[in-house]
A and B are shown apart, each in its own frame.
Chain A
Amino acid sequence: MKLYKIAWRNLWRNRKRTAITSASILFAVFFAVVMRSLELGFYDHMIKNAIESYSGFLQIQHVDYQTDPSLENTIELDEGFIAQLENAEGVKAVVPRVQTFALASSGEQTKGALIVGIDPVKEKKLSNPEIRLVRHQFTKENIERLNENSGIPESVKEKLNGLLYKSYTNTGTIAMDLDLDEEAESFLLSILGQETAFPGEYLQANDDGVLVSERLSKYLKLKVGDTLILYGQGYQGATAADLFPVRGIVSIPNPELDNKLVYASLEKAQYFSNLGNRISNLAINLDDNSDKNLKYMEKKLSDMLNSETVTVENWKVFNKVLWQQIESDNNSGIIFLGLLYFIIFFGIFGTVLMMIHERYREFGVMVSIGMQKTRLSVIMIYEMILMGILGVLSGIILSLPLILTMHYNPVHLTGDMAQMMEDMGFEAVMPLASPGMYMVWQAVIVAIMVALSSIYPIRKIFALKEIDALRA
């Protein structure tokens, strides 16, 4: 008769109580796992959007760039060093950028603009502005033509007026707005796509044209092929002024940016700003984005740089706002779970108290006839562990289908929340994190609770006096 078997049978002496206790653990674990998965998934999503596909996890910049991101704090990097960096182990992408401000004007209109100089090819590995290029737009004329097209069902036509002046980067989003099934109605979509085709091209390497963000282009009444005038100050006080043909219009989700962004090729931006070979920063993405590797790579690149004026920063520094937001949200999440588990702990502890109370005489008999107190404690511990395992496993198993489904098919948000996320430039989805370490942590927490609530019964067993217990 193995001790764990006795423990197992003991558990089922009071089925209801064991079930309730296990169920409370199950509930806590289920809740904790789903909640953590939501939180972690959300952080992941934000980091993917803001860091992995925009700023990069690390940046090489001038030591003063963080406090004053002006042209005076730009850096000049050796070609050889950049090549070395690109080939360094663990480095996925190295993307140089220039950032400056200028007045943008066309015709009568003038407005402040943010000029971002990019390497059109390398940039595809990071922010990839090409996918933001407006390729379709609904106008009065093309909607009229579509309305006359007999191949388009009335139900779709009814919705077309709602899309007037809306622009799209791909037909997929048109399908979404029209509630069309992309696959089933591909024929319809191809007509819509052709009729609404919008001119524009992505920048070529060394291109001397620009991509203008949509809201800015509307303000300046710019069309593809028009000329944009930029006027500002270059490096070391030089005057910067030039004409730029508009190659395309880009639609930037963040409205603030969409009001002022102009993409130019790196070379053109450098020439315009009198920067020579200087860049504002070098954005770097890594193969492994864990905190540990980030620290390691930061150090490694720092050593490679070996400079006093140029430094390696990680995203937690140059995007402090996002990092702090994640941190504080994460902390409140953890505190909430702490409270939840605190309550569950008392449930477990209450069960333990009842178990001891009911079986005190039985313990007395067992010790009297010769059972060592350690063995008795082991039985007790097994009981607690089994109850914990029951709760943890069922909690995790129950949460898995939900988490896996929502990880692979994230919920699309609607309403204010969705708007807020889209304004920040994020896709308005709520992906759950894939199963991972955070699940193991729930098991660890339950294990700790079980261990803590075992202390009392074990002390009670070791303090047990046979004659007292026998009279109980």
Chain B
Amino acid sequence: MKVIELKKVEKIYNDSEVKVHAVRGIDLEFEEGEFAAIVGPSGSGKTTLLNMLGGLDKPTVGDIYIGGTHINDLSGSKLIDFRLFNIGFVFQSYNLIPVLTAKENVEFIMQMQGISQEERYQRTKALLEEVGLGDRLDSRPKQLSGGQQQRVAVARALASKPKFVLADEPTANLDSKSTENLLEIMEKLNKEENITFIFSTHDQRVVKKARRVITVEDGKVLSDERK
């Protein structure tokens, strides 16, 4: 089943004096259950592409469909709600609400969705155990290592039962051991629970784990390979 569809998507930043053509005509589709990496050098347009996939930014030209919804048409609070119910996010760093504990960070997103307290509690516990943080439920973000914080972010992204999880360079600030650990968890979730992950990276060790590698350069897709 198709979860994402991009048609002739272009992005031109023209808020500064020089226009930046960050994405120059991309057609892409993502299926449910993919474990896809978007690879490319810095400045190649990975973040721009992921932001558009996540409904955080709008294409200048072209159409984006998520689960059949033409998200170009959504804006304001509708778009925010759409993200809440359909997309999981893991950012590069400082993902979590610093005043909330690991448990509360995960629970909070479900609370916004209106899920009952009982279910929230069960799911939070299960998810944090799954990412190996069953013993750190009550830790605040600053009491956790960078790798642990990213794992909480993954748990949070999954808590809302999204159609897919977007992760923009989730390992960029992690040491190699934490990187490996995070990827193992993501892989496991992908395999065992069929969670769709789309992440960007320029780390070759991360790329190796991906089952689909989309290489972008200068705002265009250079290659799109499935293993």
Binding site for B on A (CB under 8 A): 1, 6, 9-10, 13, 361-362, 365-375, 466-467, 470
Contact = CB atoms under 8 A, between A and B. Distances in A.
A145 to B, nearest CB: 83
Given A9-B100, A13-B98, A13-B99, 15 more contacts: A1-B111, A362-B94, A365-B89, A366-B97, A369-B89, A369-B109, A370-B80, A370-B83, A370-B112, A371-B84, A372-B80, A375-B112, A467-B56, A467-B57, A470-B91
25 contacts: A1-B104, A9-B100, A13-B98, A361-B94, A365-B89, A365-B94, A367-B80, A368-B54, A368-B89, A369-B109, A369-B156, A369-B157, A370-B83, A370-B84, A370-B85, A370-B109, A370-B112, A371-B112, A372-B77, A372-B81, A373-B77, A375-B112, A466-B51, A466-B56, A466-B57
Contact of A1 (B80, B91, B107): B107
Interface SS majority for chain B? helix
A374 B109 CA distance: 15
A365 B56 CA distance: 10
Contacts of B160: 370
Interface string B51-65: 100101100000000
Contact of A365 (B57, B81, B95, B113): B95
Interface string B139-172: 0000000000000000011001000000000000
B175 to A, nearest CB: 23
Contacts of B57: 466-467
**Which 7 residue pairs of A and B lie closest in terms of their CB atoms, listed nearest first?**
A370-B84, A9-B99, A466-B56, A370-B83, A467-B57, A1-B104, A369-B89
A370 B95 contact: no
A122 to B, nearest CB: 70
B80 A371 contact: yes
Nearest to A11: B99
A467 B58 CA distance: 10
Contacts of A371: 80, 84, 112
A362 B97 contact: yes
Interface string B93-136: 01101111000100111011100000000000000000000000
B51 A370 contact: no
A362 B83 CA distance: 17
A362 B84 CA distance: 16
A236 B107 CA distance: 94
A183 to B, nearest CB: 61
Contacts of A470: 56, 91
Counting chain B CB atoms within 10 Å of each CB, the highest count among A369, A372, A373, A467 belongs to A369
A417 B54 CA distance: 74
Contacts of A373: 77, 80
B100 A1 contact: yes
A9 B101 CA distance: 11
A13 B94 CA distance: 16
Contacts of B91: 365, 368, 470
A451 to B, nearest CB: 23
A373 B104 CA distance: 19
Nearest to B85: A370
A177 B133 CA distance: 81
A418 to B, nearest CB: 56
A369 B51 CA distance: 12
Contacts of B104: 1
Interface centre among B77, B80, B84, B157 (most CB of A within 10 A): B80
A433 to B, nearest CB: 42
Contacts of B112: 370-372, 375
Contacts of A370: 80-81, 83-85, 109, 112-113, 160
Nearest to B52: A467
B223 to A, nearest CB: 26
A203 to B, nearest CB: 77
Interface string B177-204: 0000000000000000000000000000
Nearest to B108: A1
Contact of A467 (B51, B83, B100, B113): B51
A368 B56 contact: yes
Contacts of B80: 367, 370-373
Nearest to B101: A1
Contacts of B54: 368
Contacts of A467: 51, 56-57
A180 to B, nearest CB: 64
A13 B157 CA distance: 25
Nearest to A7: B99
Nearest to A366: B97
A171 B52 CA distance: 92
B23 to A, nearest CB: 13
Nearest to A12: B99
Nearest to B82: A370
